[in-house]
Amino acid sequence: MVRAMKLTDPRVTTTVALVALTAWIGGLLALGAIVAPIVFAAVPFQLAADTMAVVFARFDKLAMGAAAVVLATEAVRGWATSTATEDRKGARANLARVGVSVTLVAMAVLEGLWVTPKIASLHAGGAVRGVGEAGAALASAHSIAELLGKTQALLAIALIALHVATLPAPRSAP
């Protein structure tokens, strides 16, 4: 007999969170590791900078949306399990999952609302990395963006592992 799952079932919330996380981190890795290097190698610099500024600004909207979905699934999962009894190990893993989720969300918001607009503004103003004060600011913003991207990728791997580790054991059939 097949039973319908409730939206509060951890298998549902985990699946939704992992789909959002995959779109977010997969897009981040594809843009940072593949698209940006190719565009900057094949297209004149200013056009490449303008193009990638638009691409990353649009992607940041997707990332922040996915981050909101991840956070919402944590809220639903927390609400659904708030009355359930769990062992200490399970409670620690759940807290770690929530902590990693919140950290990832903060990083996506920081990147989308401050880092990417800062880079776009500096590029639009004609800044070139390493040239003058604006170039130093651009280099700094790029370093922050790269650090955020790499950290998000590593934390996403941790979050996937924590989602799997905190799924309840399957119930035996009656």
**pLDDT-wise least confident of 40-44, 46-50, 152-156, 168-172:** 168-172
Q: Average pLDDT for residues 30-55, to the nearest whole number?
A: 92
At 5, the pLDDT band (50, 70, 90 cuts) reads low
Cα(88)–Cα(168) distance, integer angstroms: 14
Helix spans in 9-87 (H): 10-30, 36-42, 45-81
Burial of residue 134 (CB within 10 Å: 0-12, 13-18, 19+) is middle
pLDDT of residue 149: 92
Helix and strand numbers (H, E) in the chain are 6, 0
Instruction: Establish if 5 belongs to a structural domain.
Output: no
Asked, for residue 3, whether it belongs to a domain, the answer is no
What range defines the domain where residue 62 resides? 10-165
118 lies in some domain: yes
Would you say residue 171 lies in a domain?
A: no
Q: Is residue 120 part of a domain?
A: yes
How high does pLDDT run on average in the chain?
86
* Nearest alpha carbon to residue 153 among 18, 19, 25, 14: 25
Question: Which of 165, 24, 22, 16 has its CA nearest to residue 95?
Answer: 165
Cβ atoms of 148 and 107 within 8 Å: the answer is yes
Residue 75 pLDDT grade (very low, low, confident, very high; cuts 50, 70, 90)? confident
Cα separation, 26 vs 137, whole angstroms: 28
Give, rounded to a whole angstrom, the gap between the first and last alpha carbons of the chain.
11
Each residue of 16-37: b (16+ CB within 10 Å) or e?
A: bbbebbeebbeebeebbeebbe
Domain count, the chain: 1
